[in-house]
A and B are shown apart, each in its own frame.
Chain A
Amino acid sequence: MLQLILQSIGYIRPETALVFTLLSAIVADLVFKRKAIVAGIVLGGFAAVAYYVVDEIGVNLSIFSNMLAVDPFAVYFKFVVVTASIIIVLFSLSSNEVLSSTRRIGEYYALLVAMTTGMFFMVGASNLLMMYLSLELTSISSYLLAGFTKEAPDSAEASLKYVIYGALSSGFMLYGISIIYGLTGSLDLYSINQVLTQGGAGRLALLFGGVLAIAGFGYKISAVPFHFWTPDVYEGAPVTITAFLSVASKAAGFAMLMRFLKVGFADLTVATLPAGLWATVKGFELTNVLIIIAVLTMTLGNLVAIWQDNVKRLLAYSSIAHAGYMLLGLVVLGNDGYAATMIYFVVYLFMNLGAFYVVMLVANKTGSEDIQAYKGLGSRSPLLAVAMAIFLVSLTGLPPTAGFIGKLYLFAALIRAKLIWLAIVGVLNSVISLYYYVRIFRNMFLRDSEGSAEPLTFDAMSIVVLLVLLVPTLALGLYFGPLVTFAQNSVAMFGVR
């Protein structure tokens, strides 16, 4: 046993590095007056983490007696999470909201690292208890971060709402887990799968447990009807945290859900299906539930977004809609669907963070997140407006941007699985989404600024960060081969074909 643990420790280097970064950030916060040092330490720590993640490429193992999987799938999502984390630190360096609370800025970075640690465990967890614990680690850090600017009343409200919904859904999830445990006698996904494929569980109880567990995941990925916290939290939290929640925490939630469904509840022994497709275990026909959730999530997200005047809130609803699109990849029950969702995440990482970054820069200068503040942005800051336009075009899913490739793969998976009507609902949703993204275009380019029309200028650092997000958003639309290959090779989870 000890031997096993010692061996396993060699495979949690990225997580270990994260914990060390967390501790150093806390110590540095106490020692140094200059808080930029903390940011520097965190950035360095993340760089080291990324290095160790690169080291894990090609590993396909289960460690700590099936508690955690270190497999290509986990590594892929670790990349997504760590990239998002690094970008968020860069965001924070120029965020007025964050910088204004100088005294607590050390805590901010420490919590960011803690959250990242939780996500790293989430993407690898292959034991229900491990899943729950890592989810909680992430959640608790994010509750605190959502309320970080506690001076702002809506930030406090956001945080409180987040805690209450979070607690409720954790309760659901735990209840679901306990039912599954009662039915199968195990918390380990692999053993659960073994019991279930042999048909050793009651149908109704299993369905009940499964739905409850999915409620917990649904909360994390803000799928309808577990999304109620999202708009308020996204609006109230600092932009940096909103952006982080909308990408990284969603990615981790998806990774966990995908592993839960495939490792735990897919019957991979059905030989009649074409390569790369699988069936759910008997008694767990959740496909229809997922379809309903996906359709509701994207449609509701898109429809409600039309009425929003706060751009941050608008992007919150848009991110709900995007969760809906990404759920489409899970409905297919196949590797191509999973790969499509994974491709979408990388694309989404750049375009969504990009859009939030522009929101932050505009808010820094104008002090407003309202859509009115974007009037005349096209002439006040052409670079920013054009960048925003490209991010929004990409979010709509038009070529030649990366967003198109993301949608292309999702719809391709649906068409291949002959879920044509679902694909039609999906594309019609992107038409709806165009309408509210265009509202931002309209304000940026078609209308003149009402207040000051002075040009907005930004420091070199901001422009570099903007380009770091902009270039992949365009480049991945024209040349997406490497990304697709990487995603397709990363679908593999430990222990399942």
Chain B
Amino acid sequence: MSFTILNVGILTWMTFLPIVGMVVVLLLPKTNKGAMRWTALAVTVFQVVLAGLIYANFNRGMTGINSAETMQFKELFSWIDIKSVAWFGRIHIDYFVGIDGISAPMVLLTALISFVAVIASWNIEKAVKGYFALFLLLDTGMMGVFVALDFFLFYVFWEVMLLPMYFLIGVWGGPRREYAAIKFFIYTLFGSVLMLLALLALYFSVTVVDPATGEKLHTFNMLAMMNPANFEPGSILSGLNTYWRYVAYIALFIGFAIKVPLFPFHTWLPDAHVEAPTAISVILAGVLLKMGTYGLMRVAFPIFPDAAMYYLYPLAFIGFINIVYGALCAMAQKDFKKLIAYSSISHMGIVILGMTAMNTQGMMGAVFQMFNHGTITAMLFLIVGVIYDRSHTRGLDDFGGLMNQMPKYSAIMVIAFFAALGLPGLSGFISEAFSFLGAFQTFRWLAVASTLGIILTAAYMLWTLQRVFLGTLPDKWKELPDINGRELVALVPLAIIVIILGIYPAPMLNMMNASANYLVDFVRGGGGLTLLGK
């Protein structure tokens, strides 16, 4: 199904509207900071409205994953077409976007988090123009990654995010911002260049027949790469379970693992999170980390199902390390923001554990956990931001007894904290339960061991709660004002979503059910070999 506004598809609006906003921001006079903020807000509100339209019109029965027919809101245009010469085939790159049950929740999440982040950016006073211009460019990159179905396009969006992120951390960040920004940049670029090589190897291995001319041509189309029948015999990635297929899978894996981030590639994350301004931490934790796991689901698993199955256990084990190691590190932190950063590592481990379970519960748990972690961690970072704006410190031991001083703030905080530690009735519980349920069937002992992470999470979350919000209020914080209206506008929608999805998760689960189920069958079947009837 497709949906257009002024003859332009809804996903294109979603993706490129921020670019339009960026141009507007750049053209505004330097002094008019208000107009820049409102432009960014207008763009993201419009994105949220579009996200609502997508939610309302999304066909929950269509599977997507590898079939263009069941991709929704899709748009396909020829972008680059270079005629063949005697010694080099035709190069054809499409502007191909579309969503299915895996990407739709991510698109909704991105729209929501971007909106929240703009609100959280309202008090930025330094170089406002540059900030919002880069922010909107980042928005385009994020949205593009989740809607792209052409690998080349995907890669371009993936890389487009790097530079704005570098500057957003590097210019508007904390004291060690230069170090954090370059570390983020180098790590991610390292991952993505390996992805580029895998992309090229795939390109030269996959051929499809152009329906228009009947000529065989190489393609960047991800969906075509998922069909084992399209791999040219004798090409570098043809066959199943070959050396080069494993190498290519690992190259993709490293690219995505750095983004998630998986142990041992995680060291950029605490630095980046701690130094980034609040809104950017929200974006980082809320959306950027999901790109890693999304990439595994969208690209690595279905294109290399053989390698995915082969490395399933090691990957699950890395997930386990992430869960426990992240939780242990979080427990040792004295900095509020760093604690949340490590808790992200722990929670993203649950996503990995869920998806490597390779069954419906696990996969749905993973996608749902991605969404929930996005909302919950965004709340946590906003909460840290609120208190940091007021007190200019994030030391956990500097606080105490805030519960009485800031009651409204504490109410929101309680929701976020309990959602993060997986209290039943809040959204985090459901996705964690699904992930562990799935994992328990596949890796019994690993799943059991990973539940240690849940206990640790409860421990550090409650401990933090106690240190910051209970006990006696230090005298210096007696004047601390409660949360203000703007901050509530950012936090309340997230809190509502967390509660609703905790009580009634069906709206989300229905959206992803068909695709998650199909993805599992597809990967288990060795790249649809069984589906093809081979």
Q: Write the residues of chain A forming the contact surface with B, with a CB cutoff of 8 angstroms.
A: 274-277, 334-336, 339, 378-379, 389, 393, 396, 398-400, 404, 408, 411-412, 415-416, 418, 420, 423-424, 427-428, 430-431, 434-435, 438, 441-442, 445-446, 479-481, 484-485, 488-489
Contacts and interface: CB of A to CB of B under 8 A. Distances in A.
A485 B186 contact: no
B91 interface: yes
A430 B193 contact: yes
Contacts of B81: 481
A489 B85 contact: yes
A431 B197 contact: no
A131 to B, nearest CB: 26
Nearest to A416: B204
A435 B194 CA distance: 17
A423 B91 contact: no
A277 B86 CA distance: 11
A435 B186 contact: yes
Contacts of B181: 446
A446 B86 contact: no
18 contacts: A275-B86, A339-B88, A378-B130, A398-B189, A400-B159, A411-B197, A416-B204, A418-B236, A420-B197, A427-B196, A427-B197, A428-B190, A431-B189, A434-B185, A441-B170, A446-B177, A480-B80, A481-B80
A274 B127 CA distance: 56
Contact of B170 (A400, A427, A446): A446
Interface in B185-238: 185-186, 189-190, 193-194, 196-197, 200-201, 203-204, 236
Contacts of A398: 159, 162-163, 189
A434 B193 CA distance: 12
A64 B144 CA distance: 56
A445 B81 CA distance: 38
Contacts of A411: 196-197, 200
Interface range for B: 35 or more
Contacts of A334: 87
A488 B89 CA distance: 11
Given A335-B87, A424-B197, 4 more contacts: A276-B86, A411-B200, A415-B197, A428-B190
Interface in B166-187: 166-167, 170-171, 177-178, 181-182, 185-186
Given A398-B163, A428-B193, A430-B193, A438 B91 contact: no
Given A430-B193, A485-B83, A420 B201 contact: yes
B331 interface: no
Given A411-B196, A427-B194, A435-B186, A400 B156 contact: yes
A212 B433 CA distance: 70
Contact of B82 (A418, A424, A485): A485
A240 to B, nearest CB: 29
A431 B186 contact: yes
Contact of A435 (B127, B167, B182, B200): B182
Nearest to B153: A399
Contact of A438 (B83, B185, B193): B185
Interface string B375-391: 00000000000000000
Given A276-B87, A434-B185, A434-B189, A393 B236 contact: no
B178 A446 contact: yes
B318 interface: no
A396 B188 CA distance: 14
B166 A441 contact: yes
Nearest to A430: B193
B155 interface: yes
A415 B200 CA distance: 7
B500 interface: no
The secondary structure that dominates the B interface is helix
Contacts of B91: 484
Contacts of B309: none
A485 to B, nearest CB: 6
A253 to B, nearest CB: 25
A484 B236 CA distance: 24
A441 B186 CA distance: 14
A309 B156 CA distance: 31
Contact of A399 (B130, B159, B186): B159
A344 to B, nearest CB: 15
Nearest to A412: B200
A312 to B, nearest CB: 23
Contact of B186 (A277, A389, A434, A481): A434
A488 B196 contact: no
A441 B169 CA distance: 13
Interface in B497-511: none
A399 B130 CA distance: 20
Nearest to B173: A446
Interface in B48-93: 80-83, 85-88, 91
A393 B85 CA distance: 31
Contacts of B178: 442, 446
Contacts of B201: 415, 420
A28 to B, nearest CB: 44
B163 A431 contact: no
A442 B85 CA distance: 43
B257 to A, nearest CB: 16
B88 A488 contact: yes
Contacts of B167: 441, 445
Contacts of B88: 276, 335-336, 339, 488
A412 B203 contact: yes
Contacts of B197: 411, 415, 420, 423-424, 427
Contacts of B196: 408, 411, 427
A101 B120 CA distance: 56
Contacts of A438: 166, 182, 185
A382 B244 CA distance: 46
B490 to A, nearest CB: 27
A108 B91 CA distance: 44
Nearest to A479: B80
Contacts of B83: 485
B160 interface: yes
B204 A488 contact: no
Nearest to B83: A485
B346 to A, nearest CB: 28
B49 to A, nearest CB: 27
